[in-house]
Structures are given as C-alpha cells and as structure tokens.
Amino acid sequence: MDKLLIEGGVPVSGEVQISGNKNAVLPMIAACLLTDEEVILDNVPDIVDLRVMLEIASMLGVENSFENNRLTLRAKDIKTNALSREVCSKVRASILFAGPLAVRAGSAELWPPGGDVIGRRRLDAHFYGLRSLGLEVELDGIYKFTCKKRPKGRELFLDEASVTATEHIMTVAVLAEGETIIRNAAAEPHVVDLAELLIKMGALITGLGSNTITITGVEKLHGTEHRVVSDHTEAASFIALGAATGGSLTLRGTQPRHYWMARRVFERLGIVFRLDPDSIYLPAEQELRVKPDFGGYTPVISDGPWPQFPSDMMSCAIVAATQAEGSVMFFEKMFESRLYFVDRLISMGANAIVCDPHRVVITGRSQLRAQSLSSPDIRAGMAMIIAAACAKGQSEISNCRMISRGYENITNKLQKIGIRLIES
C-alpha cells in the first residue's frame, strides 16, 4: 500500500477486531534469543515492522514461521553477532537485540536504529542499564556490546520512564546473577506483556504495572506459548475515527483498564464510550463539544508516561478535536516533532494555532476539505486517514506504507466499517 484515495463525509459503522500490540511483540522477538527452545506467540499483528524484526531474527539464525497471526520462533543456534546498517535503519526496535544477543553470543554489533522521525529519541537509558548490569558498551559509529561474564543484578534508577529501555534492561536482567530493581520503570501495557512472556519462560519478575520492577535472575529460560495483548493505541485511533465522523463502532478484544485515561481525555472532547470486559462500544451521532476546565478555562490535553495519556494517541485525538465545538490546547511533552503534521490539518481548513513544537490550540468545529496529504509517521498517518474521512471531497494520502508499519490490515478494516477508499 503506497497511496489511498478516501472519499470523506460518511459516518463509520460496524465492528473492528483490535490487533495484537505492535510495541509488545517487537521486543518479544528479540527476547526469543534468551533460550534455545521454541517460543510461540499468538495474536501477532502482520505489520511492516514485524516483518523487519523477523528479517533481523533470520539473519541471526532464528528459525521462524508466521501464519494466521501465529508466530513460532526458535533461536537454536546463533549464526552471527553483527547486524547491518541497512536493517538497523529500518526499525527503532532493532536496538532491542543488543542485550539478548550479547548475553547469548558474548557480543553484539549494531548500527544506530531507525524509526519514526518524531523528534529526538534518546538511547541513554539503554546504555546506562546495560553498562550497570556489567556489559561493555562502545559507541563509535557502530554500537558494540560485550558480555564477558554473566551480568550482575543491581538497583537502577532511570532518568526517564523509557519503554524500550525498561524492556531492554528486563531482557538482560532475567539472566543476571542476583536481583535487579528498576526504579522509574515504564509501566505501559506492552511492557507488562513482555514481562508476562518472560515469566512464562521461567523469569522471576514482580512489580508489573508499577514504576518499580524487581527481577531475580535465573540461570536459564525455556520455551513457552503466549498470546500478545491487544493494541490500545489502535483502539483509541478507531474511537477518534468513529467519533469524528459521527459513527458507531464496536471494538473487539480490548481490556478495560487500558483505556481509563483515554476515556477521561476523550470525555473532554464530548466523546463517550462504554468499556465492556472485552470490547468497547462507541454510540453514534454524539455531540462533540469541548468541556472547559472549572471556571471556564481552556482545557489542556497533555501526554506523559503511563498511566497518563500516551503520546501515540495524541495525533488522532487532535483530529477528533477539530470536529468538536470549542477550544482545547494539546501539549505534546515527549517528542518535539510529533505536532508537525498539524500544518496538513490547517491546509484542510482546521482552525489550529501552532504555538511552538510542543503545543497547538485547536478550535472547532471545522469543516475540513479534501487535500493531497503525505503520511510523515505511523500515528500522524492514521490521523490523516481520520481527517480525510471527515473532509468534504476526495483526499489523497501518499506514503501509506508508513501507516502499515503499525496498523494491521488497515484498508480492510476501514472498508469494513464503511470508509470509501481506493488503494494503489
């Protein structure tokens, strides 16, 4: 999929099966290096980033098969400890192979990882954590990681609650000697899901869902089978799409606790939905209206580490706000380039003031008009789809491969709920 033509102005309706969590399954593939036994993952999303991670795994010698969202991995023998610049540049999650590969093979060589261009994305917490556990880290062009002896557990305090750093440190600490305590750890659902896989493999981990994770190292991990948790960011994207078009949706495969903060944020835009044990119901024809803060002040929607509103949900929420009466400020604290896509909304007729790289004020309701657009990153690309679905006329969205990096079967899901589109 490279280009989409979308005819806007039609409320969506129907059901969407939410796919497995992208940010859970990618580190799980790297974690399979920790055992020479078979690891089976179910509910795996068929997305571009997954295929890249499997390409890397295959280079390392990991046997794998993927069919009907079921992924089988076995790292029986490691063929190489070095990854090419080309493959590392395709996906940010490539860095997650460093620790497990070094522990398994004694050393690992990687190039700086790629990924979305949404601002500076520090790796300092990764290097701090791996060095603290006893790995030698050299960062001169090629990243070199050396593990001369068994890692040793210790107490760590991360200077940011980094998701990938927390995941990376966990995958080394599970085989370290003694106890590792990660303070200011990330607590996102995908971090918890990775930990639950590791526990099934024989790891000893406590504190899941909190900002203090304790890991007692074991000498060996074994194979297992695990079902990947559903993707809460995908679900929030469809909530924004349904509400912005005035449609009704039922989202299947969700877990209520993953949406408590999202519900509070969407309520500020006048969007209400029901959280059931394994689904979300969004009623049709809601009157979207921004709810001012007490005293009549303009509300601020900001992102932050879990359980705050996730940065990945900001782009779609901003588009939904263009269809709500009233003014609201969005404060993107985590990435300085996340809001650059708002210029495209302005070209479609959105009433938006970009205050600085981190803040934008949206005043609605705006009648968006069709426009030729380009997807700059995964989440902004989905936001462009929502904007096109609200717009009058036919919009063209290019660089749609970017969207397929994070959303499984997106065109089929959109067509199933009534979006009129042509794929090319």
Residue 382 sits at the vertex; the CA angle it makes with 379 and 387, to the nearest 5 degrees, is 125
Q: Give one word for 32, left, alpha or beta, with left for phi > 0 and alpha for psi -120 to 50.
A: alpha
pLDDT at residue 413 is higher than 80? yes
Q: How confident is the model at residue 114 (pLDDT cuts 50, 70, 90)?
A: confident
Q: Which among 129, 132, 133, 201 is positioned nearest to 167, based on CA atoms?
A: 129
Q: Which among 216, 171, 164 is positioned nearest to 185, based on CA atoms?
A: 164
pLDDT for the residue numbered 336: 80
pLDDT for the residue numbered 140: 87
CA-to-CA separations, 344 to 339, 350, 359, 365, 390, in angstroms, rounded: 10, 9, 16, 17, 14
pLDDT for the residue numbered 407: 97
pLDDT for the residue numbered 418: 97
Q: How much is the average pLDDT of 307-313?
A: 96
Q: Which among 104, 203, 88 is positioned nearest to 146, based on CA atoms?
A: 104
Q: How much is the average pLDDT of 214-242?
A: 98
| Cis preceding linkage at 305, omega within 30 | no
pLDDT for the residue numbered 116: 47
pLDDT at residue 63 is higher than 50? yes
Q: How much is the average pLDDT of 108-122?
A: 71
Q: Which among 12, 7, 413 is positioned nearest to 243, based on CA atoms?
A: 12
What does the alpha-carbon distance between residue 50 and residue 65 come to, in Å, rounded to a whole number?
A: 12
pLDDT at residue 311 is higher than 70? yes
Q: How much is the average pLDDT of 210-226?
A: 98
pLDDT at residue 27 is higher than 70? yes
pLDDT tens-digit map of 46-61: 999 999 999 999 999 9
What does the alpha-carbon distance between residue 301 and residue 316 come to, in Å, rounded to a whole number?
A: 13
pLDDT at residue 265 is higher than 70? yes
- Output the pTM of the full model: 0.95
CA-to-CA separations, 324 to 26, 72, 290, in angstroms, rounded: 36, 45, 6
Residue 322's SS3 state is: coil
Single-letter residue type at 26: L
Beta-carbon contacts of residue 212 (< 8 Å; ≥ 6 apart): 181, 182, 183, 185
Q: How confident is the model at residue 2 (pLDDT cuts 50, 70, 90)?
A: confident
pLDDT at residue 137 is higher than 90? yes
Q: How much is the average pLDDT of 295-323?
A: 97
pLDDT at residue 117 is higher than 60? no
What does the alpha-carbon distance between residue 331 and residue 379 come to, in Å, rounded to a whole number?
A: 16
Q: How confident is the model at residue 37 (pLDDT cuts 50, 70, 90)?
A: very high
pLDDT for the residue numbered 141: 85
Token duo for residue 147: 């593990």
Q: How confident is the model at residue 121 (pLDDT cuts 50, 70, 90)?
A: low
Query: What residue has token string 């869902």?
Result: 209
Q: How much is the average pLDDT of 262-267?
A: 98
pLDDT for the residue numbered 119: 44
pLDDT for the residue numbered 65: 98
pLDDT for the residue numbered 1: 67
According to CATH, where is 3.65.10.10 located in the chain? 3-19+230-423, 22-227
222 in Cβ contact with 31 (< 8 Å): no
Q: Give one word for 151, left, alpha or beta, with left for phi > 0 and alpha for psi -120 to 50.
A: beta
Q: How confident is the model at residue 337 (pLDDT cuts 50, 70, 90)?
A: confident
Q: How much is the average pLDDT of 161-190?
A: 98
Q: How much is the average pLDDT of 19-29?
A: 97
CATH number of 3-19+230-423: 3.65.10.10
201 in Cβ contact with 194 (< 8 Å): no
Q: How confident is the model at residue 115 (pLDDT cuts 50, 70, 90)?
A: low
Cβ neighbour number for residue 423 with a 10 Å cutoff = 15
> Of 109-123, 151-165, 230-244, which range is least confident?
109-123
pLDDT at residue 118 is higher than 50? no
Kind and range of the H or E element at 31?
helix 22-31
Tell me the average pLDDT of the chain: 95
Within its chain, how far is the Cα of 400 from the centroid?
17
- Residues with catalytic annotation? 116
pLDDT for the residue numbered 329: 98
Which superfamily does CATH assign the domain made up of 22-227 to?
Answer: Enolpyruvate transferase domain (3.65.10.10)
